[in-house]
Amino acid sequence: MAMTMTDEVNLPAARPRVWELLNDPETLKSAIPGCQSLEKTGENGFAAVVKMKIGPVSATFKGKVDLSDIVPLVGYTIKGEGEGGIAGFAKGGAKISLADAPGGTLLRYDVDATVGGKIAQLGSRLIDGVAKNMADKFFANFAARAAAGAEPGAAEAAAASSAPQPISPAAARPAPAAPAPDTPWFRRIWEWFMSLWR
């Protein structure tokens, strides 16, 4: 069963940084959902082990990935194949291209893949959904890694900004009362209302 997928994602890092991460086995391993190992087997090749679940079928795929048509800072073509035992097999390729974008880099990918065996019997809708979900998780993880390296301390700053902040004594005091209009009845009501908070 064949499937295709095309999409693009904005990454918060300059193109040289994104290119560096796209060629770093540790970054790719941490970004690929279910990836148990990813090792270089040559200048442009990798061996991978990925555990995944598609509907009721769980399998560990062992395969190889080769990079070709490599143009530094512009893109490359990935070709790979994996065997999942009785679950079936998957093979295919993807074209990855990079372009400058406001605030970072635009990464576009075009995927062509074929799956066979037990997983192919699950239906194209389920497999397409799983593939899209894996792609979304991969790029979310990859973007976080790119952002962490884009600005030193960015990850720490983001974590600090989301942590609860201690309240200083000055901040704990009530804010000064807003100037009240000169109307006497309004002033009396305003002062009574503010007295409730003292």
Q: CA 195 to CA 130: how far, in whole Å?
A: 60
pLDDT of residue 161: 32
Number of domains in the chain: 1
Do 93 and 4 meet the contact criterion of CB atoms below 8 Å apart? no
In a domain, 169, yes or no: no
Q: CA 9 to CA 93: how far, in whole Å?
A: 18
3-state SS of the chain: helix, strand, coil percent to 5? 40, 40, 25
In a domain, 194, yes or no: no
Give the domain range for residue 148. Answer: 2-152
In a domain, 183, yes or no: no
pLDDT band at 10 (very low <50, low <70, confident <90, very high): very high
Over residues 142-195, the pLDDT tens digits come to 888 888 865 444 333 333 333 334 434 444 444 444 444 444 555 566 565 555
In a domain, 111, yes or no: yes
CATH number of the domain residue 15 falls in:
3.30.530.20
In a domain, 47, yes or no: yes
What does pTM read for this prediction? 0.67
In a domain, 34, yes or no: yes
Query: What's 118's DSSP letter?
Result: G
pLDDT of residue 150: 55
pLDDT of residue 152: 44
